[in-house]
Amino acid sequence: MKRGITVADDIYYIDDYLDIRSKINLETYLRNLQWNYQPLAAFGYDNMQGNMEDALFDNANGYFCNVLYYVEPLIFEKLPEEIMPLLKRLEPTYLGRIKCNLYIRASEAHAQHDFHTDYDGGNHPAMVWCADSADTGLEFKRDDGSIDFVATEANRAIFFNSAVLHRTTCPIHAKERVTININYQ
């Protein structure tokens, strides 16, 4: 796959990832999706107590999601036709998880979630497809403490190693942010 704009050796993005028809179909699907509330977006790395039970006391934000596919707990639903253009362009040999995320507006003091990894160690590719533009994005924490940032833009696909510490941020001014997270090989 042709690389887009490189942010770091293991982070890049491609704008206008889907053709306009596929983008509109996928956006319509996401707008009509049933969402499930998750009280914790991430915990552990920046969580003061370091455990899930106490994460709510650390201003951890919840979010809404819908897991379409997850190999670990064996969640295998028939994938909707609207998501197939993402997978066709990605050409994965293995799917670990496909998860739709909906983050709602938060105050600036509570917009950041904890840093986390999707999988520990090794190279675990991930793609986050952004359905809309919002005043937010993905942050990646480096071993030296520096932060790489990729802004949310509609129809942008962000590629990275999900074993790198990363976090999403909730929009502060925009009403919401909708993404699809795909862990693959």
Cβ neighbourhood burial of 131 (10 Å; 0-12, 13-18, 19+):
buried
pLDDT tens digit string along 93-113? 999 999 999 998 887 777 777
Q: What is the pLDDT of residue 123?
A: 79
Residue found by looking up tokens 């480096």 in the block: 142
| Global pTM value | 0.86
Burial of residue 63 (CB within 10 Å: 0-12, 13-18, 19+) is: buried
So where are the chain's domains? 5-184
On whether the 5-184 domain is CATH 3.30.720.200, my answer is no
The pLDDT value given to residue 105:
85
- pLDDT, tens only, 118-134: 876 677 899 999 999 99
| Regions of the chain where pLDDT drops below 50 | 1, 44-52, 54-57
The CA distances from residue 32 to 26, 72, 92, 144, in Å, are: 10, 26, 26, 42
Interatomic CA distance for residues 7 and 148, integer angstroms? 7
